[in-house]
Amino acid sequence: MSTATLEPRVHAPRNYLNADYGWKSWLFTLDHKRIALLYLVSITFFFIVGGSFAVLMRIQLVDPQGAIVQPETYNKLFTLHGVVMIFFFLIPSIPAVLGNFLVPLMVGARDLAFPKLNLLSWYIYIVGGLFTLYSTIAGGVDTGWTFYTPYSSTYSNTQVTAVAVGVFITGFSSILTGLNFIVTIHKMRAPGLTWFRMPLFLWAMYATSIIMVLGTPVLAITIFLLALEHLFHVGIFSPALGGDPLLFQHLFWFYSHPAVYIMILPAMGVVSEIIACFSRKRIFGYKIVAFSSVAIAVLGFLVWGHHMFVTGQSVYAGIIFSLLSFLVAIPSAIKVFNWTATLYKGSISFDAPMLYAMGFIGLFTMGGLTGLFLASLATDVHLNGTYFVVAHFHYIMVGGAVMGYLGGIHFWWPKISGRKYPNGWAALAAAIIFIGFNLTFFPQFVLGYLGMPRRYAFYPAEFQVLNVMSSAGATVLGVGYLIPLIYLFWSMRYGPIAEPNPWGATGLEWQTPSPPPTENFSKIPVVTEEAYAYAEQEAGHE
Amino acid sequence: MSDAEAHLPEHHSGLAHQFEDLEQQQESDFLGIWLFLVTEIMFFGGLFAAYAIYRFFYFAAFEGGSHILDARLGAANTAVLLGSSLTMALSVRSAQTGNRRALVVFLIATLILGGAFLGVKAYEYNQKFVEHVVPGLDWAPEGEVLARLAPGGVQHAELYFIFYFAMTGLHAIHMVIGMGLLIWLAIRGRKGDFTPHYFAPVEVVGLYWHFVDIVWIFLFPLLYLIGGRY
């Protein structure tokens, strides 16, 4: 890769970006790479929407009395923040953007198995998003993102139906994406690309897709029943008719706990790619890392009851769920140890993607370990419903999933856009995000431990210092997120032209031009070695 | 991939650009529909789980509700749907053997049987309005109907009817979608789109149709045949 000649190009070669122009060529495209970009733009929009709700919340909590809004409005802010960030940003983030772009390239295929379904999934996502935006404008929702009954049924006077329909619809985009990935990975791998030669990102996508396909339909039927209850005023989950509110929680968490792994598994896949590339080493214990993704997907379906330790769930069910929740820590820890072992004696370079990956490992470990406090029956009684929970899942979802997503975007940006971004700015942004994140959420662990409950618009004055720290951190974090938005946008026009393989990475996606042509490969590649053959690559260069 | 050119139907009109050959495309289509059916099982599974829990809680009410339904109509509809599964299977067979005329005839027969099922279902739904046992919209059981529901508790019986309408309603929506797909297949079949080399769409829709039938096979006893009545 060091020998690549950089002649000034007069005519850019045909690629997926310049193959066709005009809005029709984008809105009716069947090219997985263009659909990935459609998703990239849409989820960025929803990230900004969800982020602005968070900004308002952090401003509110600067003052113990509540700085700007009434409690009713605050309830809507945290609900919409959760709904938008989870269903419209985190769940589609890596699968729908990086997965859509990379899965066909990594398996050495010309497209996903079902390109029309792929485009349909984006339209479904947009329609679901419009319902959610409508509900926001039409008065908001105040149930919390979990839509617990009876907040969402008997006692709700907000736009529950509109947002429920939005989430219901968006679920199908997730199902279609998962289905497409599973079929593509099974049936469209290039000659020689055996299961154990696949990059770990594909294993992660495969495990994620299994959760999407098995879990999302259950959320759909749950929301369907909720909407029936809401529309016809019949109490499926209402005790008035003998319905059971706990049943809603069981059905809801049967999807929504595995959904956490929809968010984190893809980020783990991204981190595996980055760690291998920037340590110039094969991933330590490849098969174990691959199987740990599948193990997380499977075990993830058996732990939902740990969200309900303090509800009316039986103690014995609680004990089993607690035990199973501890088991999920094993494959997660395996990954962390194996990444660390990969770094050992590697030739490490700290380019921007690697900074995000390192940040991911640290923050994910924090989030994972604090999860064990919540999986323990006794400590959960104290910590449940406090800011400790908020801090814990933000370490997983923001510290983990968003760091992984940004790391992936930085890693594959030269491939996606055909341009390079300024590495200094990228490194600076990664550092600011890491600092801002910890300043925002670490105080929340302390607040939760001290007993501050989540979801309140005001709090006792003794908690103010920690809350102000958290709000200050959120400001830093916001700046950190803004910087990549600016330089990535800038790089699309002014960035230096990227060569096909700027990082010297292994993997089929780096063997096509940057950006790739519409058909991905002029000739379907043949794979002759395992993934992460960095040692062989180095030997070949000497 | 050098020997890919050797395959006979290489540039068949049904071959999408992302596939190397029709065999790969067909395998992908079949895996895709089976996965889709898995999602459908999970979708209905959530509903069946909720049903099972409430039936366990309020068995007497569910039994009372069940006795309002006409099991003879349910049984007749079961026979109609099983018949439609047969004609669907024959459609797939006709597509595989390249019998265009038989394909269209069997698809239309399937369509007619599906329509008959929905007709009976519509009559049954109408009966529920007559008997005032439609939760939310028209819930005021009286007379003999009330007497049947009373032992298990009328409120809990309302829960039963919510599940009756949710389960059969979702099933009926699946039937309507399936019938739309049958019309699409019949038009394409008439044009001669399907050959012994390329019949995956017929088989894919067939699998979907059989799945919808199987859902009904479970719905019929769960909703119509609760408790000892016959």
**Mean pLDDT of the residues in chain A:** 94
Name B72's Cβ contacts closer than 8 Å, sequence gap at least 6: none
Closest CA to A338 of A390, A376, A281: A281
Q: Is residue A3 part of a domain?
A: no
**CATH code at B167?**
1.20.120.80
Amino acid at B58: Y
Amino acid at A61: L
- Identify the burial level of B88 via C-beta atoms within 10 angstroms of its C-beta, where 0-12 means exposed, 13-18 middle and 19 or more buried: buried
CA separation for the pair A382, A312 (Å, rounded):
16
DSSP-assigned states of every residue in A208-242: HHHHHHHHHHHHHHHHHHHHHHHHHT--SS-GGGT
Question: Is B5 an 8 Å CB contact of chain A?
Answer: no
Q: Is residue B58 part of a domain?
A: yes
Name B228's Cβ contacts closer than 8 Å, sequence gap at least 6: none
Let me know: does B32 contact A179? Beta carbons within 8 Å.
yes
Let me know: does A87 contact A167? Beta carbons within 8 Å.
yes
- Identify the burial level of B22 via C-beta atoms within 10 angstroms of its C-beta, where 0-12 means exposed, 13-18 middle and 19 or more buried: buried
Cis previous bond, A245, omega within 30:
no
Q: Across the interface, which of A111, A224, A244 has its CB nearest the CB of B18?
A: A111
Alpha carbon separation from A83 to A9, A161, A311, A364 (Å, rounded): 46, 13, 23, 22
Put simply, the answer to whether A188 touches B44 (Cβ < 8 Å) is no
Q: Please, what is the Cα angle at B126 between A233 and A241, to 5 degrees?
A: 25
Residue B155 pLDDT > 90, yes or no?
no
Q: Is residue B132 part of a domain?
A: yes
The shortest C-alpha distance from B3 to chain A (Å) reads 12
Give the distance between the most distant pair of CA atoms in chain B: 78
The predicted pLDDT at position B2 comes to 40
Q: Is residue B12 part of a domain?
A: no
Which residue, among B18, B25, B160, B167, would best test binding to A if mutated, counting the most A CBs under 10 Å from its CB?
Answer: B18
Contacts of A187 in chain B (CB under 8 A): 24, 27-28, 31
* Tokens, residue A506: 């292994």
> Residues B85-95: pLDDT tens digits?
999 999 999 99
Q: Is residue B230 part of a domain?
A: no
Residue B5 pLDDT > 80, yes or no?
no
Radius of gyration of chain B (CA): 22
Put simply, the answer to whether A241 touches B57 (Cβ < 8 Å) is no
Task: Determine how many CB atoms are found less than 10 A away from the CB of residue B4.
Answer: 11
The mean per-residue pLDDT over the stretch A340-349 comes to 95
Report how many domains make up chain B: 1
Q: Is residue B24 part of a domain?
A: yes
> Residues A227-239: pLDDT tens digits?
888 888 777 898 8
Put simply, the answer to whether B135 touches A113 (Cβ < 8 Å) is no
The shortest C-alpha distance from B14 to chain A (Å) reads 14
Question: For helices B59-68 and B154-191, what crossing angle results, to 10°?
Answer: 50
Q: Across the interface, which of B24, B38, B46 has its CB nearest the CB of A213?
A: B38
Contacts of B208 in chain A (CB under 8 A): none
Q: Is residue B177 part of a domain?
A: yes
Q: Dihedral sign, CA of A187, A192, A195, A197? A: negative
The conformation of residue B138, written as its DSSP 8-state character, comes to E
The predicted pLDDT at position A1 comes to 41
CA atoms lying within 13 Å on the CB side of residue B213: 22
The predicted pLDDT at position A541 comes to 63
> Residues A527-538: pLDDT tens digits?
999 999 998 887
The mean per-residue pLDDT over the stretch A67-72 comes to 93
Contacts of A254 in chain B (CB under 8 A): 46
Q: Is residue A16 part of a domain?
A: no
Put simply, the answer to whether B135 touches A254 (Cβ < 8 Å) is no
The predicted pLDDT at position B24 comes to 93
CA atoms lying within 13 Å on the CB side of residue A276: 27
Q: Across the interface, which of A113, A231, A526 has its CB nearest the CB of B18?
A: A113
What residues of chain B, 95 to 154, have a C-beta less than 8 Å from chain A? 135-137, 153
Closest CA to A508 of A113, A116, A201, A93: A201
* Tokens, residue A226: 């909720």
Residue B59, domain extent: 20-224
Q: Across the interface, which of A110, A113, A216 has its CB nearest the CB of B28?
A: A113
Name A112's Cβ contacts closer than 8 Å, sequence gap at least 6: A32, A100, A103, A104, A118, A180, A181, A184, A188, B18
Q: Is residue B174 part of a domain?
A: yes
The predicted pLDDT at position A97 comes to 98
* Residue whose tokens read 């497409």: A180
Q: Dihedral sign, CA of B148, B153, B158, B160? A: negative
Contacts of A113 in chain B (CB under 8 A): 18-19, 28, 32
> Residues A461-470: pLDDT tens digits?
999 999 999 9
The mean per-residue pLDDT over the stretch B161-175 comes to 96
CA separation for the pair A524, B157 (Å, rounded):
61
The predicted pLDDT at position B9 comes to 45
Contacts of B170 in chain A (CB under 8 A): 224
Contacts of B135 in chain A (CB under 8 A): 232, 234
Q: Across the interface, which of B50, B61, B155 has its CB nearest the CB of A247?
A: B50
The predicted pLDDT at position B230 comes to 52
Question: Is B55 an 8 Å CB contact of chain A?
Answer: no
DSSP-assigned states of every residue in B83-106: HHHHHHHHHHHHHHHT-HHHHHHH
The end-to-end CA distance of chain A, in Å, is: 12
Contacts of A112 in chain B (CB under 8 A): 18
Residue of B nearest to A217 (CA): B43
Question: Is B221 an 8 Å CB contact of chain A?
Answer: no
Put simply, the answer to whether A243 touches B54 (Cβ < 8 Å) is yes
Residue A421 pLDDT > 80, yes or no?
yes
Closest CA to A207 of A293, A277, A105: A293
The shortest C-alpha distance from A486 to chain B (Å) reads 35
Residue of A nearest to B50 (CA): A247
Confidence of residue A240 (pLDDT cuts 50, 70, 90): confident
The conformation of residue A386, written as its DSSP 8-state character, comes to B
Q: Across the interface, which of A184, A232, A524 has its CB nearest the CB of B136?
A: A232
Name B184's Cβ contacts closer than 8 Å, sequence gap at least 6: none
Q: Across the interface, which of A186, A218, A228 has its CB nearest the CB of B46?
A: A218
What residues of chain B, 187 to 216, have a C-beta less than 8 Å from chain A? none
The shortest C-alpha distance from A457 to chain B (Å) reads 35
Question: Is B72 an 8 Å CB contact of chain A?
Answer: no
* Tokens, residue A469: 């720290």
Q: Across the interface, which of A221, A234, A247 has its CB nearest the CB of B135?
A: A234
Put simply, the answer to whether A244 touches B135 (Cβ < 8 Å) is no
The predicted pLDDT at position B229 comes to 61
Put simply, the answer to whether B47 touches A188 (Cβ < 8 Å) is no
The predicted pLDDT at position B8 comes to 44
> Residues A430-454: pLDDT tens digits?
999 999 999 999 999 999 999 999 9
Residue A210 pLDDT > 70, yes or no?
yes
The shortest C-alpha distance from B100 to chain A (Å) reads 27
Let me know: does B182 contact B110? Beta carbons within 8 Å.
yes
Let me know: does A534 contact A507? Beta carbons within 8 Å.
no
> Residues B26-55: pLDDT tens digits?
999 999 999 999 999 999 999 999 999 999
The mean per-residue pLDDT over the stretch A466-486 comes to 97
Put simply, the answer to whether B136 touches A243 (Cβ < 8 Å) is no
**b/e sequence A256-281, b meaning 16+ C-beta within 10 Å:** bbbbbbbbbbbbbbbbbbbbbbbbbb
* Tokens, residue A317: 């069910």
Name A499's Cβ contacts closer than 8 Å, sequence gap at least 6: A1, A4, A6, A414, A514
Closest CA to B163 of A448, A242, A246: A242
The shortest C-alpha distance from B57 to chain A (Å) reads 9
* Residue whose tokens read 């899942």: A393
The shortest C-alpha distance from A242 to chain B (Å) reads 6
- Identify the burial level of A294 via C-beta atoms within 10 angstroms of its C-beta, where 0-12 means exposed, 13-18 middle and 19 or more buried: middle
Let me know: does A458 contact A64? Beta carbons within 8 Å.
yes
The predicted pLDDT at position B11 comes to 56
Closest CA to A159 of A136, A126, A177, A191: A136
Let me know: does A444 contact A467? Beta carbons within 8 Å.
no
Confidence of residue B4 (pLDDT cuts 50, 70, 90): very low
| Residue A50, phi-psi category: left (phi > 0), alpha (psi -120 to 50), beta (remainder) | alpha
The predicted pLDDT at position A538 comes to 78
The predicted pLDDT at position A230 comes to 81
Q: Across the interface, which of B43, B49, B53 has its CB nearest the CB of A217?
A: B43
The shortest C-alpha distance from A210 to chain B (Å) reads 10
The mean per-residue pLDDT over the stretch A394-411 comes to 97
CA atoms lying within 13 Å on the CB side of residue A310: 12
Q: Is residue A396 part of a domain?
A: yes
Residue of A nearest to B24 (CA): A187
CA separation for the pair B75, B78 (Å, rounded):
5
Of A5-9, A132-136, B71-75, B201-205, which gets the smallest average pLDDT?
Answer: A5-9
Which residue, among A218, A230, A519, A522, would best test binding to B if mutated, counting the most B CBs under 10 Å from its CB?
Answer: A218
Which residue, among B1, B39, B40, B160, would best test binding to A if mutated, counting the most A CBs under 10 Å from its CB?
Answer: B39
> Residues A289-327: pLDDT tens digits?
999 999 999 999 999 999 999 988 899 999 999 999 999
Q: Is residue B14 part of a domain?
A: no
The shortest C-alpha distance from B46 to chain A (Å) reads 5
Name A470's Cβ contacts closer than 8 Å, sequence gap at least 6: A58, A61, A439, A440, A441, A443, A444, A447
> Residues A498-538: pLDDT tens digits?
999 999 999 999 999 999 999 999 999 999 999 999 988 87
Alpha carbon separation from A347 to A275, A537, B80 (Å, rounded): 11, 13, 69
Q: Is residue A87 part of a domain?
A: yes
What is the number of CB-based contacts under 8 A between chain A and chain B? 113
Put simply, the answer to whether A217 touches B31 (Cβ < 8 Å) is no
Report how many domains make up chain A: 1
Question: Is B42 an 8 Å CB contact of chain A?
Answer: yes
DSSP-assigned states of every residue in A239-307: GGGT--HHHHHHHHHHHHHHHHHHHHHHHHHHHHHHHHHHHTSPPTTHHHHHHHHHHHHHHGGG-GGGG
The conformation of residue A3, written as its DSSP 8-state character, comes to T
Q: Across the interface, which of B1, B31, B46 has its CB nearest the CB of A222?
A: B46
* Tokens, residue A101: 């772009």
**CATH code at A104?**
1.20.210.10
Residue A265, domain extent: 29-541
DSSP-assigned states of every residue in A486-539: HHHHHHHHHSPBPPS-TT---SGGGGS-SSPPTTS-SS-----S-TT-HHHHHH
